[in-house]
Chains A and B, each alone.
Chain A
Amino acid sequence: MPKVRKPDLVVIGAGPAGLGAALAAHEAGLRDVMLIERDVELGGILPQCIHDGFGSMVFEETLTGPQYAQRFIDRVERTDIEVKLNTMVLDLRPDRSLTAVNSRDGILEIKPRAVVLAMGCRERTRHQILIPGYRPAGVICAGAAQRDINIEGLMPGRRVVILGSGDIGLIMARRFTLEGAEVEGVYEIMDHPGGLTRNLVQCLHDYDIPLHLSHTVTFIHGRKRVEAVTVSRVDENLKPLPGTERLVPCDTLVLSVGLIPENELSRRAGVALDPVTGGPVVDERMETSVEGIFACGNVMNVFDLVDYVTHTAEMAGRAAAEYVLQGRRRGKVTLRVRPGRNVRFVVPQLLRGDGEGAFFYFRVRRPERAVRARLVTGGVPLAGKKARMVRPPEMVRLKADPEMLAEAVSRGDLGVEVVPEVEGAEGHG
């Protein structure tokens, strides 16, 4: 077997997160950067996202997924970043050494000085939500269906029912329709939609596709290929209500029922994971619990916007470069960021307070109108912004400058909370 390769940095995954991290690290002065991608091309999921709406923050214009990816791919191609396509990382160990494989090199033993985890996420399947019924062909996750249509040019369905109103589900409702399939409806178990408002309007409303809230699929019919699904209304505990069943003939059930960060390698490396986000616990520099291993993008939590993925990736790439070039010893964790009122989780979860500013990303627990999202320390607001409406699918980002973080560190507390705008200054329980 070949001798061990020792690059400065290995970035695992070349979607928007990996591309952004590798470029940022390279620009920060790292010269020996290896970008490993298991698929046949760079860009991750973006090449199949042919709709627009990408990049309004990063590029201040809206691009399609392939366009967004191409801007990074072009930049990577102008560097000496070593790109390994069709290459699968098989193992990652706590000492940051890793084993990868491809057809040309065989088994690759790599011992980089730093690692960025950028493996992205995968789709939740029908069995993870335990839909009863048969197991015929024609039950497909929305992202896989998107790939079939947009990359392979193949139609996985003709009469389609969509379960889940996450963004990919909504976008696929429109995509199937444009390609001549018939979308009977989108069913959502929650009493509020799972996707961005703009997608509800542009993908469902504009095409007269009904959205059935508080409904779920309770049986999949068809032994060989889907023949129908039973849909039922659910109660406030999300339990199907007997007597509300309706048989919907269809040949395809498309699932958009959630994304799961892909952290199998993180686990192997002993990286601590957050049970709420499903991704690594990171500090404000995107460093995980294992020194020299950083994380960014959807591997740490599933973002709603690719722009945020890029932002975290650039932070992780810069921090990894600094780690390698300056041999920086990280400070102790001083704070665990506290999710407060109507906040489900916050990333980064940890604050070391090494003297720089940071961005905090969070999701709310429930929709709420006329609110203020804010950072607080010991009950005192540090920074915040107004929002006409917050909804669980839409992440909120708050910026903290170094002085604010210094204050939080000195008070020993940093919380993120959402409060009604009118009584924004008051305390609450």
Chain B
Amino acid sequence: MKAGRKTRPRGKLDPRLPTSARAVVVGAGIIGCAIAREITRYLPDVVVLDKENDVACGASKANNAEVHSGIGEDAGTLKQKLNVRGNRMYDEFVAGLGVDFRRQGLLIVVTPRSVPPEVAEKMGPEELDELLRVKIPEGIVAYGKAAGIEGLRILNREEVLAREPNVTPEAVSGVFDPHYGLVCPYKLTIALAEHAVINGARVILNTEVTGIRVEDGEVRGVITNRGEIATGLVINAAGVFADEVAEMAGAGGFRIHPRKGATLLFDRQVTSEYVRSSVALFRMPGMKKERSKGGGAMPTVEGNLQLGPTAVEVEDKYDTSISAEEIEEIFERFHYLLPNFPKEAVISAFSGVRAPTYEEDFVIEASERVRGFVNVAGIQSPGLASAPAIVEMVMGFLHELGIPREPRPDFDPIRPTTPRFAELDDRERDSLIRKDPRWGNIVCRCEYVTEAEVLAAIHSLVPATDMDGVKRRTRTGMGRCQGGFCGHRVAAILARELGIPVTEVTKSGGGSPLYLGENKEFLQPGRSGHA
């Protein structure tokens, strides 16, 4: 062994940059990880690169977790086609990953505010009533049918309120779409990344792509800040940076203009069952203020109510801030749809940056100019829902470009998972504690997360290396105290397991230390303190 400071291995991730790979995926969001996982069904030699220190650090960690049906998309778009198909594929997509997915459905509520006032004014009361009660719901169902979405049900006012008692009593009618689902987007991304790693993929983080080597119109390699990987296949799944990566290869031609969206999250003890399905107010076409999906009220997989998202065009691709105006807008908007929603039970607010192109449609193409370069860009909502169909479409190109069509016999369909203490019954809990007492050490008291789960997250195939990484994998700090009680405990475990001083533990990678020093360290003689 070489002399010098001993560093502990951080999980089973290979930190070295491989010199070559059959395929390189740029971007470890939901799309990049799903594509990588799919490639490993056919061959193991795929690398996923991301400049952040974890997977799912962009829009994949900050969206509303909805698997849309496609009812909200414009007819004839690629988005709509892939959304409808992706939704149908979802159960199969998540099979074996150990990730919760459930179909809670969407209730589209029709009220007098569904129609612009200038349109309503021109109508007689009976005509307006007919529009709200019959014509709009029937129109929604017909629109769905044309897109291939079957099974939409028209509800009258009583049925709407029976299904969702907290919805505004101004509801006139509604349409229930049973296809809408919920999945935790970052847990799904982590699971896909791990599943890919199990099957041979390498997920290389903290590595920024700075160039694409193209020779004779063909991809030859990916240049990064840590060296170069020789490859003939590059899949550009770089989210808001996809336009920049495409330009590096000379395979661009689209621009991503970032649009952020803020969501408020509520204490699940207060809001579980506040809405059972997703709930959205129908607005006649042309009324929509937002360009991305209109947002709504919906539960999370865990049962927190969430309201949002907003849609605000921003300059900065890193702008995940939330403005006072956005908070006000959410409160105003949902005060109408859900008049009694529990404002005081907000426990968190988050914001993600969408990656739309100016055409507002997905850009999924094998570049005609650069052989071996595949763009998967402009993926914004319903990107999560469309992911399985996006992957399917991309694989079509990749098979053409040389990925074998024959699946590997040794592909492992199962990703092993760590149990979640909070979800076990007392007998199961007790037996785990008998085997390993760390299952009895509750680290996070709001979400009932044990030390054993935190350790599993830190030593997983795609390991958590900071507070947010542990949080996304285990829910530490996601409850009502937002880490006030468990923060120092998780930081101490991270420091111990990573073999670093606690002052080097970060919230979300470099530049985000929790502690700036030790006591007395900042004392200067003759300055302040009076002591």
- A residues lining the B interface (CB < 8 Å): 1, 38, 86, 88, 90, 99, 101-107, 109, 122-123, 125-128, 130, 132-137, 141, 143-144, 147-149, 152-158, 177-182, 206-207, 218-219, 223-225, 240, 251-252, 264, 267
Contacts and interface: CB of A to CB of B under 8 A. Distances in A.
B321 A133 contact: yes
Contacts of B302: none
Interface in B153-176: none
Contacts of A123: 481, 484
A107 B429 contact: yes
B426 A137 contact: no
A153 B523 contact: no
The prevalent SS among residues of A at the interface is: mixed
A242 to B, nearest CB: 11
Nearest to A275: B344
Nearest to A2: B430
Contact of B503 (A90, A104, A154, A251): A154
B21 to A, nearest CB: 30
Interface stretch (B238-246, B365-373, B431-439): B431-439
Nearest to A107: B430
B518 to A, nearest CB: 6
B519 interface: yes
A123 B344 CA distance: 14
22 contacts: A38-B442, A38-B445, A103-B437, A103-B439, A104-B437, A106-B433, A106-B440, A107-B430, A107-B433, A123-B481, A125-B482, A127-B265, A132-B324, A132-B326, A137-B512, A153-B518, A153-B519, A154-B515, A177-B530, A180-B520, A224-B510, A224-B512
A139 B336 CA distance: 32
Nearest to A220: B321
Interface string B442-461: 10010010000000000000
Interface of B: 264-265, 269, 318, 320-324, 326-327, 344, 346-350, 426-427, 429-430, 433-434, 437-442, 445, 448, 467, 480-482, 484-485, 487-488, 502-503, 506-524, 528-531
B442 A125 contact: no
Nearest to B434: A106
A105 B467 CA distance: 29
Contacts of B348: 127
B528 A156 contact: no
Contacts of B346: 127-128, 130
A411 B443 CA distance: 52
The 10 closest A-B pairs by CB, nearest first: A180-B522, A180-B523, A137-B507, A103-B440, A103-B437, A224-B511, A224-B512, A107-B430, A137-B512, A106-B433
Given A130-B327, A132-B322, A156-B514, A88 B442 contact: yes
Contacts of B445: 38, 88
Nearest to A181: B522
Contacts of A86: 441
B508 A137 contact: yes
A419 to B, nearest CB: 32
Contacts of A149: 519
B506 A155 contact: no
A154 B509 contact: no
Nearest to A251: B516
A155 B507 contact: no
A123 B507 CA distance: 20
A207 to B, nearest CB: 6
Contacts of B326: 132
A99 B324 contact: no
B520 A240 contact: no
B515 A223 contact: no
B52 to A, nearest CB: 11
Contact of B347 (A125, A137, A177, A252): A125
Contacts of A109: 426
A207 B318 CA distance: 39
Given A177-B529, A179-B520, A1 B430 contact: yes
B528 A182 contact: yes
A69 to B, nearest CB: 18
B528 A180 contact: yes
Nearest to B503: A154
B516 A155 contact: yes
Contacts of A225: 507, 511-513
Given A179-B522, A207-B530, A225-B511, A157 B485 contact: no
B529 A180 contact: yes
B426 A107 contact: yes
A386 B513 CA distance: 51
A122 B522 CA distance: 29
B302 to A, nearest CB: 15
A148 B517 CA distance: 11
B362 to A, nearest CB: 28
A91 B346 CA distance: 23
A154 B430 CA distance: 35
A264 B503 CA distance: 33
Contacts of B426: 1, 99, 107, 109
